[in-house]
Structure 1
């Protein structure tokens, strides 16, 4: 194949070529100060959560009337974090959520990008109507679909492995796959991939087709390597609902060993409520989300700027 994407100049969306200085000059000093003030204001709840996780309950309530509520001062310790692991199987919940979220993200990127590629690059009759119907599903709240979905997943066959014996059973309730498979396909992810793929020149497809490349090779060798910002954005937007899932696991998962982190929050409100432990647990389950966003924030912003405004 004559096209070498690895050595070819990278495709840069029009909005990505602007330098930080030009962006700063457009925003202006008052706008920059306003954005910084807004960011600081929204960071106060997170700062309060992390600081409170290091304090006993009496000090948390005693510091609420002053600035000390946002400062790590007074009786600071890691006792609340140790108590979290004594009160709930937090490590197991974290492993479950990480596994479910990572698998959902990986399969979601693959399935949604393939669907968007077919609608964007291939000749599909009525693809405009298909894309419209896909986007229209976004207006349906999940709570409306939850009960019918529970009935459907309970009718599906499931594999049961017992030693060297393989058998079949009915229903996916109380399994890992019931937390993953219903959320792989996502209308907004398809739309976001579609919009980004539309910004990639079609001349690359035509040149690859002339060299004998099939559609899947074009998808794998050309389109996806140029779609890093879109992939990062879809990964973040898929990871967040999977990590924050509460209602669905509460309905379909009964075994404690299979529960995700969000279901574990209810453990802290059953008997004596310790707000220091609640803040410590909330801090533990917030750190992966913050780390993921910091790692992919540049690609996230680039993708939204280059594909989200296209229509």
Structure 2
């Protein structure tokens, strides 16, 4: 009681902050309010997590059930529980029905190359606009950002014509054979998507947060621009790199319209084009769910691996003007 009286006296005389007096009436109310907000925040997070996990959980559980049981469980909570006739038959049937392994390898390779090349190209462009003295770089950056408002569907047909005019070559037993057109190749699924306006903007905003005094110190030691980019700026840009990797990987992995337009050979197709195989004759929803689970796992694994860097990058660079 004595401590409480002293705290109240300090608050009354203005010698202490009401919120800093833990045993005062105001202090107890503030602490209680913080606890309520904290508990409410956790309840909201848990509710949102459960809400977003329901479709993924339903997909995975359904991939373990035959079609009859999937439809029979739809009216109860059993639709989200691995109970009943559970087996891996749908996963085995997926590989019998479509060349799923080939599709997965194609998508992993295409996405990985697009991510690596995209990080290099877009970070170099952002570095030049952010750190180097380039005349009209504000106008250039504005034009780059303006391309974001143009939907890909508008550019798809002209892009098909352009890639069909580009030179191509292949290695044969007689040497290099030069041909015309990139249709039905791996490079047509990679090169048009390496440069990305949003990735350049994200890198640019993050580079702007790195003190330019580091560049001046490096130049005094005889470092050139590329060495500054490689040894100073990029090692400090881990969150931005992780974010660009995720945002580049997702559209590359989920690409459907473009491969459908430019790829005819089955051996070159990515995983998303494989989805249509399950709707051609007899639709087996268990196999559809199994295939969907297989192509979802790499995306979930990538996000879990880089989620901390992704959040840090958005917090530090995504809100800048």
TM superposition score normalised by structure 1:
0.91
| Alignment root-mean-square deviation, CA | 1.2
SS of equivalent residue, structure 1 residue 169? strand
Residue 96 of structure 1 deviates from its aligned partner by 0.2
1:106 aligns with one of 108, 116, 119: 116
SS of equivalent residue, structure 2 residue 309? helix
Question: What is the aligned partner in structure 1 of residue 228 from structure 2?
Answer: 218
Matches within 5 A, 1:228-307: 228-307=238-317
SS of equivalent residue, structure 1 residue 72? coil
Deviation string for 1:191-243 (max 9, x for gaps)?
00000000001110010011110000000000000000000000000000000
Question: What is the aligned partner in structure 1 of residue 218 from structure 2?
Answer: 208
Residue 165 of structure 1 deviates from its aligned partner by 1.1
Question: What is the aligned partner in structure 2 of residue 195 from structure 1?
Answer: 205
Deviation string for 1:99-150 (max 9, x for gaps)?
0000000000000000000000000011111001000000000000000000
Residue 29 of structure 1 deviates from its aligned partner by 1.8
Question: What is the aligned partner in structure 1 of residue 88 from structure 2?
Answer: 78
2:52 aligns with one of 42, 51, 55: 42
Question: What is the aligned partner in structure 1 of residue 102 from structure 2?
Answer: 92
Residue 31 of structure 1 deviates from its aligned partner by 1.9
SS of equivalent residue, structure 1 residue 166? strand
Using the alignment, how far apart are the partners of 1:283 and 1:230 within structure 2? Answer: 28
SS of equivalent residue, structure 2 residue 190? helix
Question: What is the aligned partner in structure 1 of residue 62 from structure 2?
Answer: 52
Using the alignment, how far apart are the partners of 2:119 and 2:38 within structure 1? Answer: 37
The verdict on how the C-alpha distance between 1:26 and 1:117 changes in structure 2, with shifts beyond 3 A counting, is farther
Using the alignment, how far apart are the partners of 2:135 and 2:161 within structure 1? Answer: 33
Residue 75 of structure 1 deviates from its aligned partner by 0.3
How many residues align structurally? 288
Higher RCO by CA contacts (8 Å cutoff, separation 6 or greater): 1
The verdict on how the C-alpha distance between 1:174 and 1:26 changes in structure 2, with shifts beyond 3 A counting, is farther
> Which structure 1 segments of 5+ residues have no match?
1-23
Question: What is the aligned partner in structure 2 of residue 62 from structure 1?
Answer: 72
> Which structure 2 segments of 5+ residues have no match?
1-33
Using the alignment, how far apart are the partners of 2:316 and 2:174 within structure 1? Answer: 52
Using the alignment, how far apart are the partners of 1:230 and 1:154 within structure 2? Answer: 34
Residue 35 of structure 1 deviates from its aligned partner by 1.8
SS of equivalent residue, structure 1 residue 106? helix
Using the alignment, how far apart are the partners of 1:301 and 1:54 within structure 2? Answer: 34
Residue 167 of structure 1 deviates from its aligned partner by 1.5
TM superposition score normalised by structure 2:
0.88
